[in-house]
Amino acid sequence: MLTLTEVADDPSILTRRLALNDASEVVFRPLVRTDADRLAAFLAALSPESRRLSTFDGYDLATAQDMCDALARYDKLRLVLEEVPSGRIVGLLEFSLDLHPEDVTRFLEAGIHLAPTDCRFGPTLADDYQERGVGTRVFPLVTDVARRFGRKRIILWGGVLADNPRAIRYYRKNGFHLAGSFTGADGLRSLDMILDLDSRQG
């Protein structure tokens, strides 16, 4: 089973080249320490709507630097999609290998016992890469990463906003099912969804 330290030491373990539907290519790879400037450019370019749907602590170099400095220090595994040949970061795919106690409680209320073999996942694509099938194209690589870390199920990191029909459709078509709903501290309604990797091929 892979560890975060192994990935930080050798990011090539999880690096793959991926052909998109329009025959262009992206590289799927772990975030590395030297990505701060490129990650900052990705965050800064996110539209207000993307920021509403996928919220980060900030959208500047300091936030990007924090993410790059956190490699293998906590439970987070961050992967990026890199455009070929420009090298621009066009997607950020985040895993948390630890569960949040609030998630455990909420899922329990829905009759689902989360376990240490579960993980949390959240995707964000650059605005010009959304709704082109890229998220679905990359999803087998996402499930492969989860499996290689010994995970059996994936839940959504922070849920998905109930008024984000595209993401809900995206998760459903990639095998997630609805586990419940909740109202966040911001007063917004979100849905919990879960994917059982044993029931999904690839």
* Contacts with ligand COA, residue ranges (CB under 6 A): 50, 53-54, 122-125, 130-136, 156, 160, 164-167, 169-170, 173
Which residue's beta carbon is nearest to the bound ligand COA?
Answer: 135
CA angle 147, 189, 79 (to 5 degrees): 30
Q: Go through the chain and tell me how many residues it has.
A: 202
Cβ proximity to ligand COA: between 72 and 182 the closer is 182
For the CB of residue 20, give the shortest distance to ligand COA in the complex, in Å: 10
For the CB of residue 43, give the shortest distance to ligand COA in the complex, in Å: 12
For the CB of residue 7, give the shortest distance to ligand COA in the complex, in Å: 22
For the CB of residue 169, give the shortest distance to ligand COA in the complex, in Å: 4
Cβ proximity to ligand COA: between 12 and 201 the closer is 201
Cβ proximity to ligand COA: between 150 and 165 the closer is 165
Cβ proximity to ligand COA: between 117 and 136 the closer is 136
For the residues of the chain, what is the DSSP string, one character each? ---HHHHHH-GGGG-EEEE-TTS-EEEEEE--GGGHHHHHHHHHH--HHHHHHS--S-SSHHHHHHHHHTTTTSSEEEEEEEETTT--EEEEEEEESS--HHHHHHHHHTT----TTEEEEEEEE-GGGTTSSHHHHHHHHHHHHHHHTT--EEEETT-EETT-HHHHHHHHHTT-EEEEEEE-TTS-EEEEEEEEGGGS--
Cβ proximity to ligand COA: between 30 and 123 the closer is 123
For the CB of residue 156, give the shortest distance to ligand COA in the complex, in Å: 6
